[in-house]
Structures are given as structure tokens and as C-alpha cells.
Amino acid sequence: MKTIAKRGLSWFWPVIFLILIISFSGLPLMASSEEARVLRFPAIYKDTVVFSYGGDLYTVPASGGVARKLTSHPGYEAFARFSPDGKYLAFTAEYDGNREVYLMPAEGGVPVRLTYTPVLTRDDISDRMGPNNIVMGWTPDGRNIIFRSRMAEWNDFNGHLYLVPKEGGTPEELPLPRGGFCSYSPDGSKLAFNRIFREFRTWKRYRGGMVDDIWIYDFKTKKTENITNNPASDIIPMWSGDRIYFLSDRDENKRFNIYVYDLKTKETRKVTDFKDYDIKFPSLGPEAIIFENGGYLYKLDLATEKVNKIPVYIADDQIGSRTELVKVSEMIAGADLAPGLFLKPGEKFLLFRPKTAIPAILPILPEFMSANLLGPLTAGGLPSFLIKVAEMKFISCPRMAPLHRPS
């Protein structure tokens, strides 16, 4: 009996061990077959990372893994920034319509609105002017959030820097004529900043009149110093100790990489060396810089200056990427006959009139065969087009080819 029992149980623990290995090692693959991409506007605090994906905020360990969703509003939440103690997240969102500054606990919770500004005509994440009320960071004492706003500016190119208390209140404008991305010195007496904001424009390798530099403003002396003064673009300063990190496309490939300026020696050197894609939207944490490159997230350790990719998996229902049936009758802007389409008398076609819900099936009569009517038709002042009944099918995003007439 003992021999039989031992033999009967000899398989038990190896099988359990194998099941556990498969279960835990397969979690990321079950959540998503591949790493998530297009991870945007990241921030880091020690071992915690927050980023935007599909318009929502997610958090993930700095070592990578399955991300946890923090927000779920249909609008876009972006530019999350940790407070100096890591307890809060300030970010830009549109819960109440236009984009404003919000605050919530770093582990997640109900967002609290901090700013109330006018609605702008150009206030969209996809606009080349960039969205309004972008959170830039915090004051070193953790009392105020600094953000860039066009609330009082008629020129969409220009924005101003403001402080708003984390408890809310009237924003206070900084004494600068205009500003973009910025970073406080550790003691809060100075500010490294960009005068120009054009990070949402597709001006690669730009060397024109709107090229940007890194400036330092001294709140005590009221003096401003240019620390880069380079024909290339030098943007998004990040002040850490006696160093200011920033992005520049000054290398031979004209790719945006991270550089560092030493405040003691006044020297600048290159830190990263990405050649395929520009580094985008880096953010400074206590021990590291996190940034986008090629749609993925990377972490630059400040002590060793080593760069590691952060593998991120998204385990949600991906509602934004699901296919769906969409009524397109009011979205049609133009139509044409496909190449090689020869109309024959007696064939039946479906005549679609945009902005009407009543398609009509009609035979193609000989008089419709004239070359003049082989292009886009009009009916009742509205453009119409024909679909052969025998070839009708549900399709998504049909592509209309250039006009082709039989010779």
C-alpha cells in the first residue's frame, strides 16, 4: 500500500510546479500577445511609472509588467507629474469640457479640478499648437503645480507659465514674457525653461527662427541666461542637482537625444545615442529620467547613465480598437467609379445620396452610358454614387479610386 501511494503521488508536485510556472510566466502573454506601444507622456517616481495610453492614465512598475488603469474618462488625460513626495499626481484632463489641471492620489482616486480657464478654439492634443493648460511639474516644496497656459494670450504661439496651489485657488503668473517646458532648481530660486513651445509640430531637423534654447531665470536677480545657444533645438530642461538634462537634435543624425549641461564646468555632453527615432517627452524623477522612443518607454538611471527599456503590457478590453458598424451616410465627401468598371444596359446599381437615408435601386439605361455620367453623379444638388447590387457587401473605410472611363 505504501509503495502504491508513493507511486501515485510521485507525479503530483512536479505537475503543480509546472502549472505554476506556465501560469505566472504566461500572464503578460495572456494579457497581451505583445508589448504595448504608443505609450505617451510618461512620469516616474522611484519604482513607479505613470503614462498615457489611449487617452487614459496607467501605472506600471519601473521594471515593467502589466499596467493598471488609473483613469477611464472618454476625454484625454496626459502629462501626469508626481509631487516631490510621490503622493499625488497632477495632470491635464478634460473631465468638464476644456482641458484643465487636476489632482489625484498617485495610487488612483477621484480627480479634483484645480484650474478654471476660458475655452480655446485650439485646445486639442492633436493640434500643432498643443493642448492648453499643460502640467509641467511641481515647485520643489510640493505646494504648487506649474503649468503652461494660453488663458490670457491672443497669439496661439505664445503661452505663459503659472503656479496653482495643490489645494486650488487663483493661478499666479510667473514673471516671464512667455514660456514652455521648464524645471525648477532644487532650492526653487531659479527656473530652467524654454521660451518657445512647438513640441507638437512636425518640424524635424528644424534650424529656423523658432529654434529653441534652454534659459535660466533667477527669481532674485531677475536675470536670464542662455546656457545652450546652439543652432539646433534644445528643449525640455530637467534640473537635477548641479546638472540640467535636456533634449537636443544637434548630433550628426539630427535625432533628439538626451544631453546634460554641467552648471559647474559649463560643459555639455551627450548622454544617449538613439539613431532610429527621436526621444520624446522625457520627464525627471528623483533617480531617473523616463522617456518615449519609438512608442516604447525607456528609463535612464541618473547614477549610472544606463538606459533600460520598460516592457509594458496592457490588460484591458481595448474598447477603442474594436471594430464596429458605423453610419457613414453623412460622412461621404466624394465618390468616383472604380477603374475597369464598365456599365451595361439592364444592370442594376444602388444609387447612394449622402445625407439621405433612402438609397434607390435603378437600372442603368443606355442614356446613362455617356462618358459625362461615368464620373461622380449629382442628385438633388447632392453628390451621389453607384454600387453594383450584385457586388454589394459591408466594408469599412471604402477607398474611391481615380476616374477611369472606357475608351
Q: Summarize pLDDT for 81-101 with one digit per residue, the tens.
A: 999 999 999 999 999 988 999
Residue 104 to residue 142: CA distance in whole angstroms: 14
Instruction: Count Cβ atoms below 10 Å from residue 327 Cβ, excluding itself.
Output: 7
Q: Summarize pLDDT for 22-78 with one digit per residue, the tens.
A: 555 544 444 456 899 999 999 999 999 999 999 999 999 999 999 999 999 999 999
Joined grid coordinates for residue 295: 512608442
Mean pLDDT of the chain: 81
Buried residues in 221-258 as b, exposed as e (16+ CB within 10 A): eeeeeebbebebbbbbbbbbeeebbbbbbbeeeebbbb
Burial of 194 (C-beta count, 10 Å sphere; 0-12/13-18/19+): buried
Do 281 and 291 touch, CB atoms closer than 8 A? yes
**Side-chain-facing half-sphere of 375: CA atoms under 13 Å:** 5
Q: Summarize pLDDT for 142-164 with one digit per residue, the tens.
A: 999 999 999 998 888 889 999 99
pLDDT of residue 13: 62
Q: Which helix (H) or strand (E) holds 273?
A: none
pTM of the model: 0.75
Q: What is the DSSP letter of 326?
A: -
Do 231 and 207 touch, CB atoms closer than 8 A? yes
Residue 231 to residue 242: CA distance in whole angstroms: 24
Residue 325 to residue 396: CA distance in whole angstroms: 8
Q: Which domains does the chain have, with CATH numbers?
A: 32-320 (2.120.10.60), 323-407 (no CATH)
Residue 214 to residue 207: CA distance in whole angstroms: 15
Residue 70 to residue 105: CA distance in whole angstroms: 10
Residue 309 to residue 292: CA distance in whole angstroms: 10
Radius of gyration, CA atoms only, the chain: 29
